[in-house]
Each structure stands twice: as structure tokens, then as C-alpha cells.
Structure 1
Amino acid sequence: MTFIRKPAGQAKPQKYSTDAYGRPAGKFRRNGPIRKKVCRFCADKVEIDYKNLSLLHTFVTEKGKILSGRMTGTCAKHQRELDTAIKRARMIALLPFTVN
């Protein structure tokens, strides 16, 4: 059995750099580069309050766990304030500790 090699054509010019396996180098998704998440408290100048339950519910999972700053995009300063506000709301029974 003999193998016939195809003649090598010219390579297409690439729009981005690739790694050793031909995949796009850096942080890419299928639709383009990954956008950096922006802290919504810094951008909108929103104040974190333990009585604002609609705001606090967006940073808590269905099971009652506090979402990390990497998932929500909040900066370290506001993540600490958010953590304190959620714990304070739990202590006075505005938010549940866990959901059964």
C-alpha cells in the first residue's frame, strides 16, 4: 500500500497567534476574546446595604452559598462589603443560611 502526499499549499495568514497545537493562544472563546468582568459597584456607584435583598439575592446561589468575586466580577473591596452584608442579613433572618 502506498501513500500519496498532497502538495503543500501556502498557509493562510493567521489573525491571532497560536500555541503548539494550533489553538488560539491566550484567553479566547468561540465568539472572541474573554471580556474582563467589571465591578458593578464601582461602575454604578451602588451602595451595598444588608436591607437591599434584591441586590443580595443576585450574589447568592440557590443553595444559599455566597458567589465568589471571580464569578461575579466584583473587586476585592466590594466583595468584602458584600460578604459582610450577606452575613448580617442572615443573622437577622432576612436571608436563609441554607435552602432545603
Structure 2
Amino acid sequence: MKDKDRGSVPPPPGGEMAGAFRRARRRGCTYCSDEAQKIDYKDPQSLRYFVTERGKIVPRRISGACAKHQREIQVAVKRARNIALLPFTSN
């Protein structure tokens, strides 16, 4: 490609796709930042955020929770399933 085809902007250093695969910044845990918010197995509406459509518990890298709160979420979801507040699988 000629320079006049690209305009006056030089190509990025390192090639065409230099910054395309940059990792997204990790956001902080929502439960650590908001002390008033608690994980409760009796609240299925808040737990549905951490369960996929197929009924699987969302992993930590997707949920954004820290390790401590991810364990609490996991226990809460399992308890809610056992007392039939959350389904084990999708319908």
C-alpha cells in the first residue's frame, strides 16, 4: 500500500494489528467496593446475574468478583438450588 492511500496518518508501530489484542482492564469486585451489598441465597434475583442461561455458575473472570466473594456466590447459588429458589438447569 502506498502512503498516499492511507492519508497523513502513519501506521502504528509493530504492524497493522499492534494494539488489537490488548487485554481489558480488570474492574474491581462489586462486593468489595460496596460494603452494604451482601450475597444472600434467599435473593434469587441477584443470584441470577451469576448463573448462565443453561444454569451454570459464571466464572470469576466474567463475573468480576474477587476470589472470596466468588466462593460466597458459589455457595449461595448451590443453597438456592437445593431449596428450589434457582433451577438446576434451564427449562
TM-score range for the pair, normalised by the shorter chain length: 0.7 to 0.9
> Which among 17, 22, 25 is matched to residue 23 of structure 1?
17
Higher relative contact order (CA 8 A, sep 6+): 2
Equivalent in the alignment of 2:61: 70
Q: Which runs of 5+ in 1 are unaligned?
A: 1-5, 29-33
Give TM-score, length-normalised by structure 2: 0.76
State yes or no: 1:59 paired with 2:54: no
> Which among 9, 29, 34 is matched to residue 39 of structure 1?
29
Structure 1 residue 23 displacement after superposition:
2.4
Output the aligned Cα RMSD.
Answer: 2.5
Letter in 1 for 2:17: R
**Cα deviations by residue, 1:32-80 (Å, 9 ceiling, x for unpaired):** xx23222111111221110111110111111111100101111111000
**Regions of 4+ moved over 3 Å:** 11-14
Give TM-score, length-normalised by structure 1: 0.70
Bigger radius of gyration = 1
- Between the two proteins, what is the percent identity of the paired residues? 48
